[in-house]
Amino acid sequence: MQLGMKDRLQRAYNSRILQLAMKEDLEKRIHTLAEWLYESRHLVVFTGAGISTESGLPDFRGPDGVWTRRDKGLSPKPMGRSWDSVEPNSGHIAIVDLQKAGKLKFLISQNVDNLHLKSGINPDLLAELHGNMTKLRCTKCGKEVDRSGGKTICGCGGRLASSVVDFGEPLPENDLRLSFEHSRKSDLLVVIGSSLVVTPAADMPMEALRSDAKLVIMNQGETPFDQHAHLRFNEAIGDVLPRAVKRLKRLMGLFE
């Protein structure tokens, strides 16, 4: 069916209006997030694989995710380059800016890609629930050392093994305890790039909500917590977080 000129113009007009409305709504949500960051006294950020896709790493449940592909009988998309060449992206950098502004009280990550530490996050503010592929952990005292050092035995005499947690293995005790503590203390929990379907990931928003914290979810794809989120972003992380942090810095009187 051929659309008349008037109909075509009407359609174009409607879609343009919709686009503008969505853009305006995004601006408003970014604005709100910046204000909440500004007001927060105990900001906790939680990240999953989704924050690293913009650095070229595969996620799990996204359109090209490891599990999405597995469900279709496909193997993970090959990365085509070495891990060392993977760099933090604007999302990681924005979290470092939150740290520099004194706003970030704790960062919990499910990622093993080392990009938070590589971007400059203070190790004392970071829990890596699934370990870190560049680090070994002592099986006796739990101390972490860089894999690049080539050591196999810890100073305490314990054996050094991969710090990356496999399915069914216990999570690092100290990281887990700190994650629970800070989620409980938080007044604002910002989830970035996690579908929150596995525990203990799903426990953190639960703890935060119990403490009456505001919950912000930035994830492309549904999460079981969507109806509890006070603010929800389905947009690309790089289109949201850096802009919210920039606005926060302006509110705080900090300039580049």
Residues near Zn ion (CB under 5 A) are 138, 140-141, 143, 154, 156, 158
**Shortest Cβ distance from residue 122 to Zn ion (Å)?**
23
First and final C-alpha spacing in the chain: 55
* Burial of 228 (C-beta count, 10 Å sphere; 0-12/13-18/19+): middle
Pick between residue 142 and residue 221 the one whose CB is nearest to Zn ion: 142
The residue from 130, 182, 228, 230 that is catalytic is 130
> Cβ neighbours of residue 231 under 8 Å, at least 6 residues apart?
29, 32, 33, 36, 214, 215, 216, 217
**Shortest Cβ distance from residue 132 to Zn ion (Å)?**
16
Closest C-alpha among 162, 199, 156, 206 to residue 183:
206
Pick between residue 131 and residue 242 the one whose CB is nearest to Zn ion: 131
Q: Which residue has the tokens 């700190």?
A: 178
- 130 given a catalytic annotation: yes
Closest C-alpha among 220, 255, 221 to residue 238:
220
**Shortest Cβ distance from residue 34 to Zn ion (Å)?**
43
Asked whether the beta carbons of 78 and 111 are under 8 A apart, the reply is: no
**Shortest Cβ distance from residue 234 to Zn ion (Å)?**
44
Pick between residue 113 and residue 128 the one whose CB is nearest to Zn ion: 128
Pick between residue 168 and residue 170 the one whose CB is nearest to Zn ion: 170
Which residues are part of the catalytic machinery?
Answer: 130
